[in-house]
Copies of this chain bind each other. A is one copy, B any other.
């Protein structure tokens, strides 16, 4: 799989996080790309989130670079806005592009001042090391409690030629995307306008990042950016637009699922399907309520076929339904029919639930055709260990 044309990448250790591994990354597009972003819905928003949003607005959806640091969220700090701006100014000057063409991103601890000199001083060497092949270096530099880097790729042969899509993301805790989550950067060399990009990104986010949860906490820094620089010279035809959107959505869905697989302390990947709801939004709310129930998540951790917790969690979603018309399957086995226990072998199902992949399906009979898939992980002692000691 080839990387999109027209992008260069670099990463380095700038001394922002304590341990000596890369914490500063840069993605540069030339020519400048059309760009769209989706951002956290948390009322408390990090300085780089606010500035990226502003830059996209000032530039009318043009971007030359994504600047990202790990180890500090640059959120709820005295100097946050000034730090984000100083970093963008320094990068813009060295890259000879407008300041509004730099999209800043940060991830890490909240409420600790970020020294702008760490970034500004690291920029000259960072920029001189830019390379078309160092995509994975940036994917590594953005990680925090992640155990593995997360990337996904697609190539698409269109009527006028080939376009490439490459995405990277990070995150394993404070994960419950609402409109966006964590950090995700998707770049393509297709030629698309900013308005189209925004629509594609909004719908693709709804199908991917907005369908995962690790712990039900929505971060202050969640950002997904989609850049299209047109370096392939290929503009999709109108009839090819759905193909392109599907490819972007698939890349983003792969990235989102990787976050769940790497969920803090996770031992199992859980797919929750809800069908037969009034509409897709109702189905998604029920699926999210099941995904966020600590009792469901701990039962899965213990390979316990406790479907009573699933139906109880569904009942807390705030969606009207008749409990007597609920069917639930686990690992493809009927465990609940019409709201009561189906006949199944508890021992068999328990052994199937030892699998690292768990599938829960809930059907509402007679409500409609709304459906949704949602991905989450189990809740284990590992999650507690990681988060009782993350900061100090």
Contact = CB atoms under 8 A, between A and B. Distances in A.
Contacts of A316: 42-43, 217-218
Contact of A309 (B110, B112, B314, B381): B110
A154 interface: no
A384 B42 contact: no
Contact of A110 (B312, B387, B388): B312
A216 B294 contact: yes
A76 B340 contact: yes
Given A217-B309, A304-B390, 16 more contacts: A43-B315, A43-B319, A44-B339, A73-B308, A75-B308, A76-B339, A76-B340, A109-B306, A111-B340, A111-B341, A113-B341, A217-B313, A218-B316, A298-B384, A302-B392, A379-B384
Interface of A: 42-45, 73, 75-78, 109-113, 173-174, 215-220, 292-295, 298-299, 301-309, 311-317, 319-321, 323, 336, 339-341, 346, 350, 379-381, 383-385, 387-392
A311 B217 CA distance: 12
| A contact face: mostly helix, strand, loop, or mixed | loop
8 tightest Cβ-Cβ pairs between the two chains A and B = A110-B308, A302-B388, A44-B315, A298-B387, A111-B308, A43-B315, A42-B315, A381-B381
Q: Which of A219, A294, A305, A341 gathers most chain B CB within 10 Å?
A: A294
Contacts of A341: 76-78, 111-113
Nearest to A218: B316
Contacts of A76: 308, 311, 323, 336, 339-341
Contact of A111 (B216, B219, B336): B336
Contacts of A383: 294, 298, 384
B299 A388 contact: yes
A308 B109 contact: yes
Given A111-B341, A294-B294, A295-B173, A312 B220 contact: yes
A85 B217 CA distance: 42
Nearest to A294: B215
25 contacts: A43-B321, A43-B323, A75-B312, A76-B311, A76-B340, A77-B340, A110-B306, A111-B307, A111-B340, A113-B341, A215-B294, A216-B294, A217-B295, A217-B309, A218-B312, A219-B312, A299-B390, A302-B387, A303-B392, A306-B390, A306-B391, A306-B392, A379-B384, A381-B381, A384-B384
Contacts of A350: 392
A94 B316 CA distance: 38
A308 to B, nearest CB: 3
A43 B314 contact: yes
Contacts of A381: 381, 384-385
A216 B215 CA distance: 12
Contact of A174 (B45, B292, B295): B295
A351 to B, nearest CB: 11
A18 to B, nearest CB: 14
B392 A346 contact: yes
Nearest to A43: B315
Nearest to A340: B78
B389 A294 contact: no
Contacts of A215: 294-295
Nearest to A381: B381
Contacts of A218: 312, 315-316
A341 B384 CA distance: 25
A34 B304 CA distance: 42
A301 to B, nearest CB: 5
A294 B387 contact: yes
